[in-house]
Amino acid sequence: MKKVMRGMGRIFVRGRVYWVSFYHHGREIRESSHTEKEAVALKLLKRRLAEVNAGRFIADEEKVTFENLVEGLVTDYKLNGRRSLKSAALNNIRHLRAFFGFDRAVDISSDRLKSYQLCRREQEASVATINRECATLRRMFSLAIEAGKLSRRPKFYMLGGEKVRQGFVEHGDFLRLLGELSDHLQPLVEFLYYGGWRKSAARNLEWKEIDMHGRTARLKAEDSKNGEPWVLPLAGRLWEVIQERAKARRLDCPFVFHLDGKKIGDFRKVWKTACRKAGVDGLLIHDLRRCAARNLSRAGVREQVSGKKLVDYLNNIAWNNSCHTPALLNGC
C-alpha cells in the first residue's frame, strides 16, 4: 500500500508499520514512522519535507551515537586547549557512558535524561555532580548541532536544591593549619590564601614570571582559567613570601615553590591530614581562594567577587597607596 504526495514524497507499509520516503540532494531517504497509523506517518512526512525545504534536514541523523557525541566534545576541548578535558573525561563522561553508552543520540529524550538523573540519585551522587554531568551532555548535543550532525536536542531539566559551597577558614585557624603543613608547603599555601590564585597556577609559577623590581607576579595565559594572562601586585605578606622564596631559590629549578628542586606535586592527602589536626576538617584547598575574596570584602570591597573581578580588585587594592600595608594582604 502506497500513498504518494505528488512531487514530494510518499508513505508505504512494511509489515504493519508505515514508512516515509522523500528526496534530499537527489538521494532517496527512507524512514520508519514507528507506527501503524497512516495519519501519524503523513504528519512525519510533512515535517521532513518542511525541514528539507528550509535546509534544516540532516541525513543519517539516526546514525549518530553517544560515542559520536563524545568524540565531538573531545575534539572541541583539544581545539580550544581546555585543560579541564581530563577531569571531564574521567568524571562526567564516565558516568554518562555507563548509562547512555549504547544509545543513539536521537533516542536520548527528556524522559531518558530524567531516568539518568534518578539513577544517579539512587547512586547517591550529589545534585551538583548530576547537574555538571547533564551540562556536559547538553554541550555534546550543542556541538553536534553546530557540526550539522543533529537537528535538535532534548530539553534538559537541571535538578534544584544544589548546594553552593561556602568553605572559609578564619585567620587564626589558618595560622594553626599552616603550622601543621610541611615547610615546603607553607609558602605555597600562604600564597594561595593571600593571593587568591588557583593551586595549579601557583604550583606552575616560575621565577621568570616574578618581577622583583616591580613587585609583581604574572599569571601565564595557559595557567589562567579564562585563557587571559594577568599581573598580581605583591604587597604585605605576599611580598614577604616571595622574598623568602628568593633566598631559597635554586639555579637548577625554575619554580618559585618546590621541594628539593622539583615541582610540588599533589598534596591532597597531606592537606586533609593537616586540616584534621588543625580542627578544620572538610576545608578544600580551593576554599583559600574564597578566603581571599572574603578578605577583599572585609577590606571594603563588595562581596560579589569572583574570577576576573577578583583579579581586578586585587590589583586595585594592592596598588592603592593606603593599602601597601593592607589588612587584606596581612590576613587581618
Give the pLDDT band of residue 276 (cuts 50, 70, 90).
Answer: very high
Q: Report d(CA 2, CA 18) in Å as an integer.
A: 9
In this structure, the answer to whether residues 230 and 269 fall within a common structural domain is yes
State pTM to two decimals: 0.54
Q: What pLDDT is attached to residue 318?
A: 42
**Does 195 score more than 90 pLDDT?**
no
Residues with Cβ within 8 Å of residue 73, at least 6 apart in sequence: 88, 93, 136, 139, 140, 143
Boundary-marking domain end, from 112, 146, 180 = 146
Give me the number of domains the chain comprises.
Answer: 3
Q: What pLDDT is attached to residue 264?
A: 93
In this structure, the answer to whether residues 102 and 132 fall within a common structural domain is yes
pLDDT for 50-77, tens place per residue?
A: 888 877 777 778 889 999 999 999 888 8
In the structure grid, which three cell numbers stand for residue 92, read together? 562526567
pLDDT for 229-259, tens place per residue?
A: 778 888 888 899 999 999 989 999 999 999 9
Q: What pLDDT is attached to residue 326?
A: 38
Residue 332 Cα to chain centre, angstroms: 33
CATH number of the CATH domain containing 297: 1.10.443.10
Is 152 part of a structural domain of the chain?
Answer: no
In this structure, the answer to whether residues 203 and 265 fall within a common structural domain is yes
In this structure, the answer to whether residues 16 and 96 fall within a common structural domain is no
In this structure, the answer to whether residues 114 and 179 fall within a common structural domain is no
Is 11 part of a structural domain of the chain?
Answer: yes
Q: In whole numbers, what is the pLDDT of the chain averaged over residues?
A: 81
Q: What pLDDT is attached to residue 286?
A: 84
Q: What percent of the chain has pLDDT over 70?
A: 78
Residue span of the structural domain in which 21 resides: 2-57
Instruction: List beta partners, residue 27.
Output: 24
Is 217 part of a structural domain of the chain?
Answer: yes
Boundary-marking domain end, from 129, 146, 163 = 146
Answer for the pair 153, 141: CB distance below 8 angstroms, yes or no.
Answer: yes
Three-state secondary-structure class, residue 55:
coil
pLDDT for 72-110, tens place per residue?
A: 998 888 887 666 666 666 688 999 999 999 999 989 999
| Lowest-pLDDT range of 133-142, 167-176, 288-297 | 288-297
Is 165 part of a structural domain of the chain?
Answer: no
Q: Report d(CA 10, CA 21) in Å as an integer.
A: 5
